[in-house]
Amino acid sequence: MREASIAPTVQPRGPDPALQSLGDEIAELSAHLDAASARLLDLIRRFDAAGGWNDGFRSCAEWLAWRTGLDLGAAREKVRVARALGSLPRLARALARGELSYAKVRALTRVGTPETEERLLKVGRAGTAEHVERIVRGWRWMDRKTEIDDTELQHKRRALHVYRSDDGTVIVRGRLAPEVGALLLRALDAAREALYQQARVAAAAHVSAETPEDSDRPEVSDMPSMEQRQADALALLAETALHHGIDPGAPGERYQVVVHVDSPVLADAEHPGQSVLEDGVRVSAETSQRLACDASRVVMRHDGEGNLLEVGARTRTIPPALRRAVQHRDQGCRFPGCHARFGQGHHIQHWAHGGPTALSNLVLLCRRHHVAVHEEGFRVERQADGELTFRHPYGHAIPHVPPGIAITDDPFEAIRARNEAEGLELDAHSATPGWLGERLNVAYALDVLHPMANG
């Protein structure tokens, strides 16, 4: 006969005060960090709007990744949220007060607009982070459904117009179907050419009020507009497509861009002489010098009256084997903070100035930073130990790694003190949602909240 064993009865213990205190401390610290995150995002937004990053970097996200050690994707998301909060002041205040977590605000900014902000704020205060994510996913689905209804009309209206204006510039206007537009936008983003400095002539003509009158330092162009950044991206896409053979069955010569430039102009941009495209449109001598860094070269000899006497063989400025060696060594653009994988060969000392086409005199730069070095006053030097030094137009070196920041012995106390100095009284319950445990009905929530559902 088997004897039954009776397990001892375990008396439930009451809450451990020490663990409760630890949990409250975690929640309070999280609220303080969220409030600090709000200030960080506000600083990022102001820095971005003022163009503080426009100092050789191609975007605020790229500067943020370089300066703070963030992954580039995380830096882009920080900048996105910071920009969105600029037009969503209620969400920004809720984050600054520790009422909403950064995770909630990040999700809500994906769909929030000034018209829907108040409704979404109530969602953030009432629900958990999971509730917010589910409602935002549903919200975005309803937005997509509205777009799908217009697909046929959008397809019929697709068009692309490309023509040359009187001043030689090319004007591109068009409308693409959503999926084609998405492909173009993805390609523009992948090109990593989102920035383009305004012309130096415009910068020189409008001296900053903050610049001393007796300063002889060169001016830096203002932040380019979105349209200028998109134009620069499109230029790189065209260049990359032709370089990699968009039409494998056609000879490369069919698509080449030809620049005619006098040899003295290559050696000295101030020297009089021609620097024109094949159809006669003039480009700056600096542009010709940049293009000549890494291009096919044909030397033509003319007599005193301009008649052609002799045409030399076409040669590559940088031979293919040497280009592969540069690509293998540099693994992408070498400008500090740049992550572009594709680039152009740059002669540190231009070959027109006697610089050798050798590995030690070459460096890989993306198109954006190749323009910066040739046409915007930035410089690159190779030191005796082989390391590169990039210099700002003002002359100071741009560090590859930003300088370290002094940290207090107790960073949290510094954050707490700053928050308290701003009148914030945060505790373990500051970010507690109003949810009472009921089941979330996403469909009903969207019927109430979404503009397309409630009219």
- Strand pairing category for 275-277 and 296-297: unpaired
Query: Residues 291-305: what's their mean pLDDT?
Result: 68
Is 346 among the domain residues? yes
Q: Are residues 168 and 144 in the same domain?
A: no
Choosing from 245, 268, 284, the residue where a domain stops is: 245
Q: By the 8 A CB rule, do 91 and 117 touch?
A: yes
**Which three-class secondary structure state does DSSP give residue 315?**
strand
C-alpha 202/C-alpha 184 separation (Å) is 30
- pLDDT band at residue 429 using 50, 70 and 90 as cut-offs: confident
CA triple 107-81-116, angle to 5 deg: 60
Cβ neighbors of 277 (< 8 A, separation 6 or more) are 168, 257, 258, 259, 260, 283
- pLDDT band at residue 33 using 50, 70 and 90 as cut-offs: confident
Residues 165-180: tens digit of each pLDDT: 887 788 888 887 656 7
Tell me the range of 69-73, 163-167, 217-221, 253-257 where mean pLDDT is highest: 69-73
Cβ neighbors of 247 (< 8 A, separation 6 or more) are 254, 255
Is 90 exceeded by the pLDDT of residue 78? yes
Q: Are residues 217 and 299 in the same domain?
A: no
Q: Are residues 238 and 294 in the same domain?
A: no
Cβ neighbors of 254 (< 8 A, separation 6 or more) are 247
CA triple 76-141-190, angle to 5 deg: 30
Q: Are residues 357 and 416 in the same domain?
A: no
Domain range for residue 167?
159-245
Total domains in the chain come to: 3
Element (H, E) at 151: helix 151-156
Alpha carbons within 13 A on the beta-carbon side of 362: 23
Residue 249 CA from chain centroid, whole number: 35
Higher-confidence position of 191 and 280: 191
Q: Are residues 81 and 171 in the same domain?
A: no
Is 10 among the domain residues? no
C-alpha distance from residue 127 to each of 24, 83, 419, 441, 454 (Å): 20, 24, 25, 12, 21
The residue among 124, 127, 125 whose CA lies nearest residue 109 is 124
Q: Are residues 422 and 383 in the same domain?
A: no
The residue among 109, 103, 57 whose CA lies nearest residue 83 is 109
Neighbours of 117 (CB within 10 A): 18
Q: Are residues 434 and 313 in the same domain?
A: no
Phi, psi of 281 (to 5 degrees): -75, 130
- pLDDT band at residue 88 using 50, 70 and 90 as cut-offs: very high
Q: Are residues 227 and 309 in the same domain?
A: no
Choosing from 245, 271, 300, the residue where a domain stops is: 245
Q: Are residues 288 and 380 in the same domain?
A: yes
Is 251 among the domain residues? no
C-alpha 155/C-alpha 143 separation (Å) is 19
Q: Which residues pair with 160 in a beta bridge?
A: 174
Tell me the range of 22-26, 87-91, 164-168, 395-399 where mean pLDDT is highest: 87-91
Cβ neighbors of 335 (< 8 A, separation 6 or more) are 56, 365, 366, 369, 372, 390
Is 100 among the domain residues? yes
